Structure 1
Amino acid sequence: MAQGYNSFMSAEQKSPGNPSDEISPFLLDCHVDTVLKLVDYGRDFVRGIPDGQVDLPRLREAGVGVLFFACWVELAYLPDRCFARVNELIDGAEALAAAHRDKVGLARSMQEARDIQASGRLAIVLGVEGGHAIENDLGKLRHLADRGVRYMTLTWNNHLSWAESCQKPTESSPKGLTDFGRKVVSTMAERGMVADLAHVSPRTFDDVLEMDVPPPIDSHAAARSLCDHPRNLSDSQIESLAARGGALGLTLVPGFLSEKSETADLDLAVTHALHILSVGGTGVLGIGSDYDGIDRAPLGLEDCSKLGKLATRIREDGELTHEEFIGFTHENLMRVFEAWES
């Protein structure tokens, strides 16, 4: 294990609340945009990306064992090049794993992710950020599932014909999820692809929670009661997501942590985490940093190497038991993914 991993593990392993070392925490980050740097700029993920926020050396330092590559399709690819673009990003992730099999593995299930992590390698899992990637075609959605995509964020910051985003409604935008949108989510459930509610409107959020599908996630958000941003979740949404058995990845986007984004720091991220825990309970919280999707990260959380520090603070300040800490570090999110797989 890397030194940073042992650093954030040591106190937990020695605590009275952890009599057994059979289950050890590793960190899971369910949302980074790093694959775009690999595909578009040819950055070296394994040796290091000095101008980025995520690379293998720093992930090892933090103790990250499972990492979700969010394949985000820029709106410039609309209307008919989105599917080609998302496949290009998947190709890039596959090429990385093929070139570095001794260090990285591409996981198509949570069991594969666990096995890869247990072997000492980084498990990479694929997500798609934005339902515009499927170009209103269920066949293209199935194709992405067949390629190993394990979650799809239903919308990005743009309304779709079948799903309303968190942006201001327009005359033509749907009110929540349409009938076709429900078919999209049902098809995702059939293929074991988790519905991610980041970026969606409250109406779309509620519509998915009311469907007869496994519990969804919000891959990257914070508490709206602490920072009134439309991308964040209200207390009632956090409660509903938790009651449904879903999970939320705490984001580190400065503007989601504070309306004065320049003041965002480690302490404020911990404050959001503790609020979410107090509202939704210990089973709802995970990590969804959005590293490499932001120009500047919070002070004290400048890159992924600092995630171990964040985890330690949340464990200590939240007075989490060993089991609760395991949930936060990875199990809360993995449990949701396994529910969709089954």
Structure 2
Amino acid sequence: MKYIDMHCDTLMNVPDPTGSQTLKSNSIASIDFNRMKKGNTMAQFFAVFLLQKEMFEKEHKEYVEDDIYIKNCVNTLKRSVEENEEIISMAYNYEDIVKNDSMGKMSALLTIEDGRSVEGSFEKLNKYYDLGIRLITLTWNFENCFGFPNSDDPTTMNSGLKKFGKEAIEYMNELGMIIDVSHLSDGGFYDVAEMSKKPFVASHSNSRTLSPHKRNLTDEMIKVLAEKGGITGINFSPTFLNENPKVRYSSIELLVKHLNYIRNKGGDDILAIGTDFDGVSGTLEIDSVDKMPLLFAALKRDGWSDDLLEKLAYKNTLRVIQDTMK
């Protein structure tokens, strides 16, 4: 089963400075091009996750400003794709993905996780679009120019988009950039739902009823997202799958449980994949991209039809891409 994954943090981990760990082949991440091919990837969204200053030292990276870091990550992915053009190409819209697939190639797409670097500037949104960014996760875990993050603090959680955030929703719709509400406050979610004229996504979020982390979606949010034509990508992190967030194991059984629950609340067309590979910790039963067929096999055993599997795997995401990207 070919599939599209809406979120990974692999660019944060590879390639390494020595060049021994690359995007084509590595032993330190869950994703590389060779294993993507083995797992039957159709398209992979690669996030440029904006590290906090203290994270640079932890990741053994020299600190650089956000825009330099973004450009470096973008160039790294584009260069790696060019070096492996026989199996993968960049994609910037629906037509690119379909064309690459028809040629037997996978597609790589670029996103930014944490819109802080936008700094309230429409000019910067244009700049990122021109770089090839086609999705922005509006917030990470801190307040920024768009709005507020998910939080245990009710005041923060209920806070909506800021003035720029509201204006940016319309602008991103026109520009052809997907709006991602994973990490956004509940108040911000409902502002996006009210204001966006195009489908939006929760690229890597699960059910809050089954796993109470505030990063997950409530039943009502799942229904609203579905009504807007959006999708949520199943996240493989133990923290967002288990009823007890201290449990550090991610099982296929839990993935199936969340997918069935989300389908029950939001219907077949909301289902998508957003693994969060290389951005999560713990022990994962599916810990590498080449093991993705295990999920589809489990769903098949659970009674899922081929048509439903295809919607989850790539058709729903392709629809949203076609409806949003230019």
One fold, TM greater than 0.5? yes
Contact 1:158 1:167 in 2 (8 A): no
C-alpha distance 231-109 of structure 1, shift in aligned 2 (>3 A): same
Secondary structure of 1:301's counterpart equals coil
2:247 maps to what in 1?
261
Aligned-pair CA distance for 1:172: 8.9
Aligned-pair CA distance for 1:174: 8.9
1:285 maps to what in 2?
271
Aligned 1:75-224 pairs, distance under 5 A: 75-76=52-53, 81-169=65-153, 175-224=159-208
Matched residues in 1 for 2:224 and 2:90: separation? Answer: 32
Contact 1:86 1:133 in 2 (8 A): no
Secondary structure of 1:248's counterpart equals strand
Aligned-pair CA distance for 1:77: 8.8
Contact 1:83 1:135 in 2 (8 A): no
Matched residues in 2 for 1:210 and 1:263: separation? Answer: 36
Q: Deviations over 1:281-336 (max 9, x none)?
A: 111011100101123342x212112211112222331x333322221111111211
2:37 maps to what in 1?
60
Aligned-pair CA distance for 1:191: 1.2
Secondary structure of 2:148's counterpart equals coil
Aligned-pair CA distance for 1:149: 1.1
Matched residues in 2 for 1:129 and 1:232: separation? Answer: 16
Aligned-pair CA distance for 1:277: 1.0
**Which segments of 5 or more consecutive residues in structure 1 lack a partner in the other structure?**
1-24
Matched residues in 1 for 2:200 and 2:155: separation? Answer: 28
Matched residues in 2 for 1:171 and 1:65: separation? Answer: 41
Which residue identity is paired with 1:265?
A: S
Secondary structure of 2:109's counterpart equals strand
Q: Is residue 2:46 matched to residue 1:37? A: no
Q: Is residue 2:48 matched to residue 1:74? A: no
Contact 1:33 1:293 in 2 (8 A): yes
1:28 maps to what in 2?
4
Matched residues in 1 for 2:266 and 2:223: separation? Answer: 5
Contact 2:237 2:281 in 1 (8 A): no
Equivalences, count: 315
Matched residues in 2 for 1:173 and 1:311: separation? Answer: 34
Q: Deviations over 1:173-200 (max 9, x none)?
A: 9921122111222221111000000000
Aligned-pair CA distance for 1:240: 0.9
Matched residues in 1 for 2:154 and 2:206: separation? Answer: 25
1:272 maps to what in 2?
258
Matched residues in 2 for 1:324 and 1:291: separation? Answer: 23
C-alpha distance 172-45 of structure 1, shift in aligned 2 (>3 A): closer
Matched residues in 1 for 2:300 and 2:195: separation? Answer: 34
Which residue identity is paired with 1:237?
A: M
2:28 maps to what in 1?
51
1:295 maps to what in 2?
281
Secondary structure of 1:74's counterpart equals coil
1:240 maps to what in 2?
224
Matched residues in 1 for 2:279 and 2:223: separation? Answer: 27
Secondary structure of 1:38's counterpart equals coil
2:321 maps to what in 1?
337
Secondary structure of 1:54's counterpart equals coil
Which residue identity is paired with 1:278?
A: N
Which residue identity is paired with 2:27?
A: P
Secondary structure of 2:6's counterpart equals strand
Matched residues in 1 for 2:207 and 2:240: separation? Answer: 8
Q: Deviations over 1:1-35 (max 9, x none)?
A: xxxxxxxxxxxxxxxxxxxxxxxx41111101112
Matched residues in 1 for 2:154 and 2:76: separation? Answer: 36
Secondary structure of 1:86's counterpart equals helix
Task: Please give the TM-score of this superposition, normalised by the length of structure 1.
Answer: 0.86
Q: Deviations over 1:63-82 (max 9, x none)?
A: 1111000111112299x922
Aligned-pair CA distance for 1:261: 2.6
Which residue identity is paired with 1:296?
A: G
Contact 1:166 1:230 in 2 (8 A): yes
Q: Deviations over 1:111-158 (max 9, x none)?
A: 101211221222101111111122222111111111221110000111
Which residue identity is paired with 1:108?
A: Y
C-alpha distance 297-285 of structure 1, shift in aligned 2 (>3 A): farther
Which residue identity is paired with 1:56?
A: F
Which residue identity is paired with 1:92?
A: T
Secondary structure of 1:283's counterpart equals helix
Equivalent residue for 2:294, pick from 309, 321, 325:
309
C-alpha distance 54-183 of structure 1, shift in aligned 2 (>3 A): same
Secondary structure of 1:66's counterpart equals strand
